[in-house]
Amino acid sequence: MVNAHPPSANADSHPIRKILVVGGGTAGWITAGVLASRYPRRGEEGISITLIESSQQPPIGVGEGTWPTMRATLKQIGVTETDFLRECDASFKQGSQFVGWMDGSHSDAYYHPFTLPVGYEERNLAPYWLEDPRGQSFADSMCFQTGPCSHGLAPKMITTPEFTGLANYAYHLDAGKFGPFLRQHCIDKLGVDHLYDEIVRVEAKEGGDISHVVTKSGETLAADLFIDCSGFSALLIGKHFGVPFLSKKDVLFIDKAWAVQIPYRVEDAAIASVTRATAQSAGWVWDIGLTTRRGVGYVFSSGHMSEDGALEELKSYLGAGGDLSPDLSFRKIDINSGYRQEFWTRNCVAVGLSAGFLEPLEASAIVMIELSAKSIANLLPSCRGGMLEAARLFNDTYRYRWERIVDFLKLHYALSRRSDSRFWIDNRTRESIPDSLSNCLEFWRDHCPWHEDFSHREEVFSAASYQYILYGMGFQTRPAPWLLNDTDRNLAREKMNATALHAKALAASLPGNRELLSKVRQYGLQKI
Ligand SMILES: Cc1cc2nc3c(=O)[nH]c(=O)nc-3n(C[C@H](O)[C@H](O)[C@H](O)COP(=O)(O)OP(=O)(O)OC[C@H]3O[C@@H](n4cnc5c(N)ncnc54)[C@H](O)[C@@H]3O)c2cc1C
């Protein structure tokens, strides 16, 4: 790694005026959009943002599941929800459904919805569900959203204003269309400069900062801050700075994917409002519904199954749904599970796949891009001198966030009782489960997850998400009636009754996902 002397006093007062974003995939365009909307261009006065991407190296083209944070991100960047839905073939996503993760039996399925459990804003009512589940799953009892999820409904009506909903929601989007959509907006409306060229050399200043990059066509691009969104090639953070990559393969075994696009058999086919994750013998299959097609793929561990074996298993999944046809084109993707030892080094920050990737379970990659872009915007110092502290803060936060994501993803495997293949058995070995997760699981035997269980205020996965996964997968927290009280017990009953009624009312009034999306195409949503 290039390690260098601290910049001189002169360098310290050098203003941060030029930002170069390297890479035009989802990470590059979200980051450029967030920064450009936060620091609007003011001629010679403001900050200039340039994005360079290589036309020879297309973006990865997968990554279709998002989080509700995307609504705020799009709003901040200044696009309308109607344009986004129409141009990115996007649909509404209300959570995830995990099929076959517990024991692989016929009825093995549960939801992780986006709406918080009832009462969550004030109290932890999970212990009262545990005391008396009334024959219902945790998610069904504590969240009205499982109703709309299981019926493929939209989270809103055509009259509900843009970016607001009757239930918390995110999107499924066409990754191949999202980048170009943001590109157009960033160039036309936010003043981002753009060029297609390939970086072939990175030049450093005395002291170690990057001074400029040189492109294939011979251009020299200088900047004060470089944002590495170059995907798995990690051009700046990896190849130039040599920041070590911390592999997590010993915890999360997934290292390959087969991806395929499935056309709908009929034009007005229903569109699922969840990402469906179906367990297989060496990983799991994702199934995402867009307006024009489905995106399906098998992420698997090559240590547990050959590429050919995984392809056959994916084909069986498709065949079972009547979706296997000879003209499907399957694409193989290698996944290196892990993240960088640091993300911001000297005058360079890595965002997106260059910073790390684990696996797409719970779609945590794009949300990390959104969070990183906002953190960079919030921490951006006026001069180079402030960058050292900005980098320290950023690295501390994101190291913690990546570690927490590893734990949360591993939780899904650690709780499984499947023993039908080595993949599932190996996933439960003591040495593959991080101590941080083992300690929590031990604690949660005697305590329902709650905010104070985590050390940071803004957790990527809140206690609510842990509750949905733990109790969805049949985890047992020991009953402790001496810790319960009648006031909260009555409140829990009231809320659970109201949840059931609310779910029924929504099922009767919400349009189907497809129905609303067709209306959006025709009429558009009401602007805010
Ligand atoms: C199988 C799979 C499924 C996934 N599913 C999800 C999901 O459901 N939800 C989710 O949140 N995330 C998901 N992800 C992750 C998601 O795809 C990525 O986080 C997201 O697409 C961001 O990618 P990126 O922009 O960092 O990189 P890329 O899309 O790879 O873009 C890299 C860019 O860098 C440019 N570049 C590279 N080298 C150079 C050079 N020398 N000069 C100039 N430009 C260069 C390229 O031209 C390209 O524009 C998934 C990932 C995989 C592998």
In degrees, to the nearest 5, what angle opens at C-alpha 468 toward C-alphas 247 and 117?
135
- pLDDT at position 40 is 87
Find the mean pLDDT for residues 102-129: 96
- pLDDT at position 31 is 98
Which of 31, 52, 53 for mutating ligand 1's site (highest number of atoms within 8 Å of CB)? Answer: 53
Find the mean pLDDT for residues 147-154: 96
Mean pLDDT of the chain: 96
- pLDDT at position 8 is 60
Query: Distance, CA 118 to ligand 1 centroid (Å)?
Result: 36
Cβ < 6 A, ligand 1 pocket: 22-28, 52-54, 57, 59-60, 62-65, 175, 198-199, 229-231, 233, 235, 257, 259, 297, 299, 333, 335, 352-353, 357, 360, 363, 365-366
Query: Distance, CA 252 to ligand 1 centroid (Å)?
Result: 20
Q: Report the atom number in ligand 1 closest to the C-alpha of 368.
A: 11
* HSE of 185, CA atoms in CB hemisphere, 13 A: 26
For residues 446 and 486, what is the distance between their CA atoms, to the nearest angstrom?
20
**CA torsion, ordered 220, 223, 228, 234, to nearest 10 deg:** 40
Q: Are 59 and 177 in contact (CB under 8 A)?
A: no
Q: Are 234 and 350 in contact (CB under 8 A)?
A: yes
- pLDDT at position 43 is 75
For residues 265 and 222, what is the distance between their CA atoms, to the nearest angstrom?
51
pLDDT tens, position by position, 359-369: 999 999 999 99
For residues 23 and 128, what is the distance between their CA atoms, to the nearest angstrom?
49
**Closest C-alpha residue for ligand 1 atom 14:** 63
The H-or-E segment that residue 84 falls in is: helix 81-87
- pLDDT at position 424 is 98
Please count the other Cβ atoms lying within 10 Å of the Cβ belonging to residue 400: 15
pLDDT at 4 over 70: no
Query: Distance, CA 264 to ligand 1 centroid (Å)?
Result: 26
Find the mean pLDDT for residues 417-430: 98
Query: Distance, CA 492 to ligand 1 centroid (Å)?
Result: 43
- Tokens 């055509």 sit on residue: 158
Query: Distance, CA 136 to ligand 1 centroid (Å)?
Result: 40
Q: What proportions of the chain, in percent to the nearest 5, are helix, strand and coil? A: 40, 20, 40
pLDDT at 528 over 50: yes
pLDDT tens, position by position, 273-319: 999 999 999 999 999 999 999 999 999 999 999 999 999 999 999 99
- pLDDT at position 9 is 61
pLDDT tens, position by position, 391-421: 999 999 999 999 999 999 999 999 999 999 9
Which of 53, 60, 255 for mutating ligand 1's site (highest number of atoms within 8 Å of CB)? Answer: 60
Query: Distance, CA 60 to ligand 1 centroid (Å)?
Result: 5
Query: Distance, CA 336 to ligand 1 centroid (Å)?
Result: 13
Q: Report the atom number in ligand 1 closest to the C-alpha of 215.
A: 42
**Closest C-alpha residue for ligand 1 atom 15:** 63
For residues 257 and 307, what is the distance between their CA atoms, to the nearest angstrom?
9
* HSE of 197, CA atoms in CB hemisphere, 13 A: 19
pLDDT tens, position by position, 156-184: 999 999 999 999 999 999 999 999 999 99
Query: Distance, CA 497 to ligand 1 centroid (Å)?
Result: 44
Residue 458 pLDDT level (bands cut at 50, 70, 90): confident
pLDDT tens, position by position, 31-82: 999 999 999 887 778 899 999 999 999 999 999 999 999 999 999 999 999 9
pLDDT tens, position by position, 229-255: 999 999 999 999 999 999 999 999 999
**Closest C-alpha residue for ligand 1 atom 38:** 230
Q: Report the atom number in ligand 1 closest to the C-alpha of 369.
A: 19
For residues 65 and 457, what is the distance between their CA atoms, to the nearest angstrom?
25
For residues 66 and 367, what is the distance between their CA atoms, to the nearest angstrom?
7
pLDDT at 131 over 80: yes
Residue 151 pLDDT level (bands cut at 50, 70, 90): very high
Query: Distance, CA 302 to ligand 1 centroid (Å)?
Result: 21
pLDDT at 5 over 60: no
Amino acid identity, residue 507?
A
231: left (phi over 0), alpha (psi -120 to 50) or beta: left
Query: Distance, CA 250 to ligand 1 centroid (Å)?
Result: 23
pLDDT at 3 over 80: no
pTM over 0.95: yes
Query: Distance, CA 231 to ligand 1 centroid (Å)?
Result: 5
Q: Report the atom number in ligand 1 closest to the C-alpha of 23.
A: 34
- pLDDT at position 2 is 45
Task: State the DSSP code for 54.
Answer: -
Find all residues with CB under 8 Å of 157, minimum gap 6, and list them.
Answer: 166, 509, 510, 511, 516
pLDDT tens, position by position, 193-235: 999 999 999 999 999 999 999 999 999 999 999 999 999 999 9
**Structure tokens given for 302:** 């090559």
> What is the DSSP annotation of 349-367?
EE-GGGTEE--STT-HHHH
Find the mean pLDDT for residues 114-136: 95
Which of 52, 62, 334 for mutating ligand 1's site (highest number of atoms within 8 Å of CB)? Answer: 62
pLDDT at 1 over 60: no
3-state secondary structure 422-486: HHHHHCCCHHHCCHHHHHHHHHHCCCCCCHHHCCCCCCCCCHHHHHHHHHHCCCCCCCCHHHCCH
- pLDDT at position 253 is 98
pLDDT at 484 over 80: yes
